[in-house]
Structure 1
Amino acid sequence: MNLHQFRFVQEAVRRNLNLTETAKALFTSQPGISKAILELEEELGIDLFVRHGKRLRRVTEPGQEVLKAIDVILREVANMKRIGEEYSKQDAGTLSIAATHTQARYVLPEPVAQLRRRFPKVQVSLHQGSPDQVVQMLLDGTADIGLATESLSEPEDLVSLPCYEWQHVIVMRAEHPLAEVEKITLEQLANETLISYHPSFTGRKRIDAAFAQRRLKPNIALEAIDSDVIKTYVKSGLGVGIVAEMAVRDDPPGGELVSRPAGHLFGTNVTRVAFRRGAYLRGYVLTFAELLSDRLTRPLLLRALGGDGENYDL
């Protein structure tokens, strides 16, 4: 057996058992992949796949166990490559970051700039997506580090740590009647046309839960994944916005929009940083994590990555 066979099996499963797509992804031929998989099955003495003619239909039960072992083997091979790169190029490489729009737009610019000043030979690759997409990019190895408020603490194959806390704020045009109210209530918001995040982004579930608990039905006119988009529609007069506090932090006082804190309504959110469990992280990846939050010290990161069972919740 060899690594080529392992990669063929792994990629075939990723491509929903479509060997034509698998061959395209790996720049090889479909007959070559079929032959390699058959040879691996013969050597192992088991069928990895259930077939209908020449087509793969599903992974067998022993095939599922073999696939888990293949994932571990190929992950460790990737780690060995990273170790080699680490010691051959101590200060160069690519840092791949997966983050939601809010994190990429409002949180990451300064840490990225600081990292580039410390490691000018490190190239930064920034991938934006939904929380679930951030998780998948980490699991696939597309990203070294992920940052999001939702989803990162769920998969067992990720190591996730709290990074910082934040609250929602209510934004409205300066002439709006609520701009004169210091502590806005849920009942007042329920009477307004609202603009906020898509349900899977930036703490929206907390907003919905708060209204539901008071048996109020919010009038959400528009949902977006982008805080700037929400603020734009608020400026246009469509309604009152609910955004993350980071999105108004740099707004000038006396501007077109006024904001009011909403932590008393929707509680506190925790943004988490995550890594794929078992992945080898180069030094500048750990440095970047330290730049994200004072809480993320290198000893803490190494303990968590090493499987320490300590509770790291804020």
Structure 2
Amino acid sequence: MTLTELKYVLAVAREKHFGRAAEACFVSQPTLSVAIKKLEEELGVTLFERGGGGELSITPAGERVAEQAAHIFELVDGIKDLAAEAKDDLQGPLKLGAIYTIAPYLLPELIPHLHERAPQMPLLLEENYTRVLTEKLKKGELDAILVATPVEDPSILALPLYEEPFVVAVPANHPWKKKKSIASAELENENMLLLGSGHCFRDQVLKACPALNRSATGGLQKTLESSSLESIRHMVASGMGTTVLPCTATRLHTSSDSLLAYRPFTQPAPSRIVSLAWRKSFPRPRAIEAVRQAILATSLGCVDKIRPGKR
């Protein structure tokens, strides 16, 4: 069994035709057909059922072999990537994940600074829940992730980047617009808009504002849920209720901002620590450092950036 034979299997499975598969592989049809037949004899199974005119269908065994062949070529590509990365940590794509409540507010600032430091290292970005990002990081499907909860896994390293305070967002005509700060206990009597279950920011808000734990289970008359902070902001602007946001979310200007008012919490204000996490075995430490330095160079004025040795 050779990689070439497996490449032919994938081509035939994709094209469903020996002639078209041969053209795609830049070989003659007899060459491809002989290679497929040889592999079938070696494996002792039929991979493709031949029909008239070169048309064919893939057998169940053929589907499984094609699936494994595709995985093998992914591994081969990974080996090539590793070789290229070994030559230069800052050369080649970096697969970066971020939770939904970080990505929209940090990435627009991060990308220009990172491009200055590593112009040959484009980002492959994914937004998802902390749990999903952590699993993908462990499996090697992501190279690094930006999260706001501790990653407790011995195979993963994490470095705190900044502490981000929470703020209260209310409609512009809300009486709280006249207040300088809001105590967390005051939120209990408000119609609160929160992210849905699964978002770590929701859990952090409920932990920071214990009074909301009662409201959050009290039904729609007390708490409404949404899948994104931006949808929540628009609902607050429309007068639907009140919410808590990470302070960076207040920097994303929209046409509805004139209908909103933001107020800080009374000290000590609730906050979160945003961290960069990566596998201990990840072979590109300079790439991780480039991301860290780029984030520290951003102008997120409302956060307290954490430099090594600071805490």
TM-score above 0.5 = yes
Q: Classify 1:137/1:169 alpha carbon distance in 2 versus 1 (closer, same or farther; 3 Å).
A: same
Which residue in 2 is equivalent to 1:261?
A: 264
Q: In structure 1, how many angstroms separate the alpha carbons of the residues matched to 2:191 and 2:110?
A: 36
Deviation per CA, 1:257-312, whole angstroms, max 9, x where unpaired?
10011263762211111001212115334212221237777xx6xxxxxxxxxxx7
Residues 1:279 and 2:282 are matched in the alignment: yes
Q: In structure 2, how many angstroms separate the alpha carbons of the residues matched to 1:95 and 1:156?
A: 22
Which residue in 1 is equivalent to 2:295?
A: 292
- Calculate the TM-score normalised by the size of structure 1: 0.64
Q: In structure 1, how many angstroms separate the alpha carbons of the residues matched to 2:215 and 2:158?
A: 34
Contact 1:79/1:279 (CA < 8 Å) preserved in 2? no
Which runs of 5 or more residues in structure 1 are unaligned? 1-18, 30-74, 301-311
Q: Classify 1:149/1:254 alpha carbon distance in 2 versus 1 (closer, same or farther; 3 Å).
A: closer
Indicate the structure (1 or 2) with the bigger Cα radius of gyration.
Answer: 2
- Which of 209, 234, 245 is the aligned partner of 1:243? 245
Deviation per CA, 1:40-98, whole angstroms, max 9, x where unpaired?
xxxxxxxxxxxxxxxxxxxxxxxxxxxxxxxxxxx9x9997555213545653101100
Q: How many Å apart are 1:197 and its aligned residue?
A: 2.3
Q: How does 1:49-88 map to 2 (within 5 A)?
A: 84-88=83-87
- Structure 1 runs (4+) deviating above 6 angstroms are 19-22, 77-80, 294-297
Residues 1:193 and 2:191 are matched in the alignment: yes
Q: In structure 2, how many angstroms separate the alpha carbons of the residues matched to 1:28 and 1:254?
A: 49
Contact 1:144/1:281 (CA < 8 Å) preserved in 2? no
Which residue in 1 is equivalent to 2:124?
A: 125
Q: In structure 2, how many angstroms separate the alpha carbons of the residues matched to 1:247 and 1:264?
A: 20
Q: How many Å apart are 1:255 and its aligned residue?
A: 2.1
Q: How many Å apart are 1:186 and its aligned residue?
A: 3.5
Contact 1:230/1:243 (CA < 8 Å) preserved in 2? no
Q: In structure 2, how many angstroms separate the alpha carbons of the residues matched to 1:227 and 1:260?
A: 17
Which residue in 2 is equivalent to 1:27?
A: 69
Please tell me the residue identity of whatever aligns with 1:261: P
Which residue in 2 is equivalent to 1:156?
A: 154
Contact 1:169/1:260 (CA < 8 Å) preserved in 2? yes
- Which of 222, 225, 238 is the aligned partner of 2:224? 222
Which residue in 1 is equivalent to 2:165?
A: 167
Q: In structure 1, how many angstroms separate the alpha carbons of the residues matched to 2:97 and 2:294?
A: 16
1:27 counterpart SS class: helix
Number of matched residues? 236
Contact 1:166/1:268 (CA < 8 Å) preserved in 2? yes
Which residue in 2 is equivalent to 1:61?
A: none
Q: In structure 1, how many angstroms separate the alpha carbons of the residues matched to 2:91 and 2:202?
A: 38
Deviation per CA, 1:102-129, whole angstroms, max 9, x where unpaired?
2210012222112223333322110110
Q: In structure 2, how many angstroms separate the alpha carbons of the residues matched to 1:313 and 1:22?
A: 53
Residues 1:110 and 2:109 are matched in the alignment: yes
> What percent of counterpart residues are identical?
21
Which residue in 1 is equivalent to 2:273?
A: 270
Which residue in 2 is equivalent to 1:204?
A: 202
Which runs of 5 or more residues in structure 2 are unaligned? 1-60, 298-304
Which residue in 2 is equivalent to 1:178?
A: 176
Which residue in 1 is equivalent to 2:97?
A: 98
**Which shifted more, 220-229 or 164-173?**
220-229
Please tell me the residue identity of whatever aligns with 2:187: L
